[in-house]
Amino acid sequence: MRSDIESYVQKCIVCARSKSSVGKPLGLLQTVLGPIQPWQDIAMDFIVELPNSKGYTVIWTVIDLFSKQAHFVPCKGLPSTKQLATMFIQQIYRLHGAPKHIISDRGIQFTAKFWRTFFKMLGCSQGLSSAYHPSTNGASERANAMVEHYLRSYVTYQQTNWADLIPFAELAYNNAVHSSTGYSPFYIVHGMEFGPIPNFTSNPKDPITIQDRSEKIKQCWNNVQAALKESTYKIKVQADKRKEVKTFQVGDNVY
């Protein structure tokens, strides 16, 4: 009788539907092909509810997923969809052209029909992070954390001067070597490092030729692609340790 009861309970449809899952999540981490050049794929997000600084309370962060170069744009509140489109043209498009793919969260600015039509006109595809899964837009989340760390370190006690510090935070971020690429974003994009204060009086004896610079950038991009693939592989290996592989057949009941 005990075995009959156990069998009956295990096959109880109501129990199967109602019980919380206690096992490992099913399915291994699925990776996607990464970009092969700067500003091909980008991600964007907002840092909100900041202390008022000259009327600014929001930072719009945009990051290139290849070079990790980022732009931090202060905003006087969350922009509307049309305002964001104007900001995109003024701050991103004029500097880097139109990307091929854009990742963002599901904020109303990014899900509006106007926004989708705007990017369709530019030839861009849009990817939205999954609900309750913000790590889809992990690059922006990490950039947000970094700029917040910079600002916390240098703002005044009243925390009202962060808008003046944004350009310096952006310079510091883009001039630092990124752990996933082994290069600074500035070097990947421009083929050279930028000092904190340019020395306009210097006169290098052996200036680098255009051909040499082109070869250096090409080699840098190849190294970045390899580094990003290795970083993605390591993330997958660690994520798959917390996953479970299970094969389902046609007709199986899954709850």
- 233 falls within a domain: yes
Q: How much is the pTM?
A: 0.75
Please give the pLDDT value at position 135.
Answer: 58
Please give the pLDDT value at position 64.
Answer: 94
Between β-strands 101-104 and 125-128, what pairing exists: parallel, antiparallel or unpaired? parallel
- Return all residues near 63 (Cβ < 8 A) that are at least 6 apart: 42, 43, 44, 69, 70, 71, 139, 140, 143
Q: Which candidate, 88, 59, 70, places its Cα nearest to that of 171?
A: 70
CATH number at residue 106: 3.30.420.10
C-alpha dihedral sign at 115, 120, 122, 126: positive
Tens digit of each residue's pLDDT (9 = 90 or more) over 12-33: 777 767 777 766 777 776 666 7
Selected residue with higher pLDDT from 153 and 253 = 153
**How does residue 219 score in pLDDT terms, banded at 50, 70 and 90?**
confident
- 11 falls within a domain: no
Instruction: Give the mean pLDDT of 45-65.
Output: 93
Count CB neighbours of 196 within 10 A. Answer: 8
Tens digit of each residue's pLDDT (9 = 90 or more) over 128-168: 876 655 556 677 788 888 888 888 888 877 788 899 999 98
Please give the pLDDT value at position 179.
Answer: 84
- 12 falls within a domain: no
- 184 falls within a domain: yes
Tens digit of each residue's pLDDT (9 = 90 or more) over 92-135: 999 999 999 998 888 888 888 888 889 888 898 888 876 655 55
Please give the pLDDT value at position 57.
Answer: 95
- 134 falls within a domain: yes
In terms of C-beta distances under 8 Å and separation of at least 24 residues, what long-range contacts does 4-8 make, across chains too?
none
Domain of residue 58: give its range.
41-192+209-237
**How does residue 206 score in pLDDT terms, banded at 50, 70 and 90?**
low
User: Is 28 within 8 Å of 245 (Cβ atoms)?
Assistant: yes
Q: How many domains does the chain have?
A: 1
Instruction: Give the mean pLDDT of 54-67.
Output: 94
- 58 falls within a domain: yes
Q: Is the pLDDT at 241 greater than 90, yes or no? A: no
Highest mean pLDDT among 99-108, 150-159, 187-196, 210-219: 99-108
Instruction: Beginning with the edge strand found earlier in the chain, give each strand of the sheet holding 70-75 in spatial order.
Output: 70-75, 58-64, 41-47, 101-104, 125-128
Please give the pLDDT value at position 205.
Answer: 57
Please give the pLDDT value at position 90.
Answer: 95
- 254 falls within a domain: no
- 94 falls within a domain: yes
